[in-house]
Structure 1
Amino acid sequence: MPRYRTATPADEPALHALWAAAFPDSAGTVALLWGRDPGRHARTFLAEDGGRPVSVLHYQPRPIRSATGAPQRVGCLGSVATHPDARGRGHVRRLLTAVTEAMTADACAWSLLFTGTPDVYRGAGWHSFTAPVLTGPLAAPRPGDAGVAVRRATPADVPALRALRDAFDATRPLTTVRSAADWRRRIPVWYGPPAAILLAQETTGGGEGAVLGFVAVRPDGPAGAAVAEIALARGREPEAAAALLRAAAGHARAGGARAASVHLPAEPAVVAALPWLLADATAGTTAYGMARPLLASPAEVAATVTAPGAVHWYGDSF
């Protein structure tokens, strides 16, 4: 009979093997991020059958801004996997019941996950929500503002990147309040090569001046790129957005992309700068996000995930 329990340090090799079997292309990333959660064992729930884990999921509490901009403790659910030879036996359903009780006891206001298989979670109380996306062919190269230079960010730029992000997302719903540890441990995983963070700076007398913003670009399929995050210095949004989206198009072209998807809030400066990135933009939506109320009311959670300008950045994935 299957046994359902939380993980122990002794389970780690078996869990790595389970993720490798379930996610051959991304098991390393899953295991790496899971290993960087110091409380991971008590927050990892598994089904054991035949002396080995056959199904697993993990939650991590993260501070995420509500519809009012105030941070809430949210149980972020990820690392969900079932071994191919153990699927269809209800393991995830039972684990979701256990993790829901644990997140509630852990004072999580609600739970967030992202998935391409929503039916697995609907019966356990999670509800899908949509996010806007723009897609189109990359714009042709053209000269930009000579007063703004864009370069790839380095580890030395992290304090400037963090300050930009904190200011740009100070009250933005659905964004994570990033810690210094997040910048050290999580952002390099999601935006490391072949992805890139591009930094815009004012040029003064041939040198580097004020930091104006950054954009994160990552590959998306064999001939595509995704603009996954942006932050603009307040008061300098138009010039920063134009320079960054132009540079994002150049970076994508250099990587062999011919088209791009844009996952950014529709701020006026971003909308105005889109022709620097896309030759022709088609509006659409994605529905990968799912939310489940715990201590917060359903209306409060719905207000957060549907708020104007709400966005959950790819760099905060779990």
Structure 2
Amino acid sequence: MQFRTATPDDEASLADLWHTAFGAAPVLALWRCDPGRHDRTFVAAEDGRVLSAVHWLPRPVRSAAGTVERVGCAGSVATLPRARGRGLVRRLMTEAAEAMTAEGCAWSLLFTGTPEVYRSAGWETFPSPTWHGVLPAAVAAPGHPGVRAAAPDDLPRLMALRERFDRERPLTTVRTEEDWRCRIPHWYDDSCLTLVTEPAGGGDASEPGGFVVARLPAERAEVVEIALAGPAPATTAHALLAAVAARAQAAGRTEVVVRLPDIPAVRDAVHRLLPAAEAIAEYTGMARPLLAPRTAVRATVTAPGAVHWFGDSF
């Protein structure tokens, strides 16, 4: 068994591994967005075949202290079924953490549905707020000038809204224009709906307002991102969520999961739209201190209003 970083010769084997593990998820496409992907991909290989892999990516993430930290984000973790149970992921995660530390990462972040795999390697879970509810029979029209589907030329406004809303919000990634053009389209594909408020009174595109992103998979709608700016964020949030609910109903969905920060504007909008919604903390996010103190990392991932947007997944 070889434990090493990936080479260009491994790309076909990695593609097969990730397709086996993740199906149609855009893992390979996102991996190719990273110019340093080979040196940041750790593999366990045997007879020229990659059996297990971990890729990590340095990302600028806002902290609870108001600074931007270099964070090692681990993803694309996969092992072929026949090689599971041999401790390969733990070995690769340990090597990845050593590389993150050597490259100046304050801490490491990952998201998973199987947290027990990573606890023994030093990662700890943290809660993410969600609301689960059943859509009402009829969605009341909010008192807002209008919400419409975002168009390609809305990108500068979406970028400005995202930056303004996240400016002091812990756990958010500082997005670049390259992120918007390369990474975001892979996560927000044709199964996603991006809605934006119309500027009031025919104002220009820089006027504050908001946007929301929802995924409409077969079983239920999921609200995965929002940005709010201006004097009435709760009104804007309600208008955006109501528009999502109306479109979800038209698509035959009856349930919705809201994965947004637990802040007053969002909480008010959720309760107005879904009075019986159940607040549930999910524990899919995990963090491991590297150069930063454990208390500082914990403060960031559990800060009020902290959120890591789905579009910034890795």
**TM-score, normalising length from structure 2?**
0.95
**Taking structure 1 as reference, are residues 5 and 205 closer, same or farther at Cα in structure 2, changes over 3 Å only?**
closer
2:312 maps to 316
C-alpha distance 104-3 of structure 1, shift in aligned 2 (>3 A) = same
Distance 1:57 1:303 in 2: 26
Shift of 1:195: 0.6
Runs of 4 or more consecutive aligned structure 1 residues displaced over 6 Å after TM superposition: 205-209
Q: State the match for 1:151 in structure 2.
A: 148
Give deviations 1:63-121, integer Å, cap 9, x for gaps: 00111221100000000010111111111111112111100001000000001111111
Indicate the residue corresponding to 2:213 in structure 1: 216
1:142 paired with 2:137, answer no
Q: Does 2:184 correspond to 1:176? A: no
CA apart distance, 1:272 = 1.9
Q: Work out which of the residue numbers 259, 271, 274 in structure 2 matches 1:263.
A: 259
Once the two structures are TM-superposed, the CA of residue 207 in structure 1 deviates from its matched residue by 10
**Is 1:190 matched up with 2:211?**
no
1:120 paired residue number: 117
| SS of residue in 2 equivalent to 1:74 | strand
Q: Which amino acid aligns with 2:142?
A: G
Cα separation, 1, equivalents of 2:184 and 2:88: 32
Query: 1:282 and 2:278 equivalent?
Result: yes
Q: Tell me whether 1:59 sits opposite 2:56 in the alignment.
A: yes
Q: 1:41 to 1:208 in 2, by over 3 A?
A: closer
Query: Retained in 2: the 8 A contact 1:128–1:287?
Result: yes
Counting matched residue pairs gives 313
> Where in structure 2 are the equivalents of 1:228-247 lying within 5 Å?
228-247=224-243
Structure 1 residues 205, 107: CA separation in 2 closer, same or farther (over 3 Å shift)?
closer
Query: How far, CA to CA, are the matches of 2:151 and 2:29 in structure 1?
Result: 21
8 Å CA contact 2:42–2:53 kept in 1: the answer is: yes
Find the aligned partners of 2:223 and 2:297 in 1 and give their Cα distance: 26
Question: Secondary structure of 2:146's match?
Answer: strand
Segments of structure 2 that go 5 or more residues without pairing to the other structure are none
Tell me if the contact between 1:238 and 1:273 (Cα under 8 Å) persists in the aligned partners: yes
Give the match for residue 3 of structure 1.
2
**Which amino acid is 1:143 matched to?**
A
- Of stretches 271-280 and 261-270 in structure 1, the one that deviates more from structure 2 is 271-280
Change in Cα spacing, 1:279 to 1:42, as seen in structure 2 (3 Å) is same
Q: Which amino acid aligns with 1:249?
A: A
Alpha-carbon offset, residue 255 of structure 1: 2.2
**In structure 1, what is the Cα distance between the partners aligned to 2:116 and 2:2?**
24
**Distance in 1 separating the partners of 2:261 and 2:21:** 33
Once residues 15 and 206 of structure 2 are traced to their aligned partners in structure 1, the CA distance between those partners, rounded to angstroms, is 46
- The answer (yes or no) to whether the contact 2:208–2:230 under 8 Å persists in 1 is no
Please state how far the C-alpha of 1:209 moved relative to its aligned partner: 8.9
Letter in 2 for 1:258: T
Aligned 8 A contact 2:157 2:206 in 1: no
Match of 1:100 in 2: 97
In the other structure, the counterpart of 2:85 is: 88
Contact 1:201 1:210 in 2 (8 A): no
Query: Which residue identity does 1:295 align to in structure 2?
Result: L
Does the 8 Å contact 2:58/2:70 carry over to 1?
yes
Identity %: 53
User: Which has the larger displacement, 243-252 or 102-111?
Assistant: 243-252
Aligned counterpart in structure 2 of residue 307 of structure 1, from 303, 306, 312 = 303
Please give the alpha-carbon distance, in whole angstroms, between the structure 2 residues aligned to 1:207 and 1:298.
45
CA contact (8 A) 2:169 2:307 kept: yes
Secondary structure in structure 2 of the residue aligned to 1:204: helix
- For residues 72 and 45 of structure 2, what CA distance do their matches in structure 1 show? 23
Q: How far apart are 1:302 and its partner, in Å?
A: 0.5
Using the TM superposition, give the Cα deviation of residue 250 of structure 1 relative to its aligned residue in structure 2, in angstroms. Answer: 1.1
CA contact (8 A) 2:157 2:205 kept: no
Other-structure match for 1:132: 129
Q: 1:91 to 1:201 in 2, by over 3 A?
A: same
The TM-score normalised by the length of structure 1 is 0.94
Deviation at 1:277, TM superposition (A): 3.5
What residue number does 2:76 align with? 79
SS of residue matched to 1:272: helix
Q: Distance in 1 between matches of 2:313 and 2:99?
A: 21
RMSD: 1.7
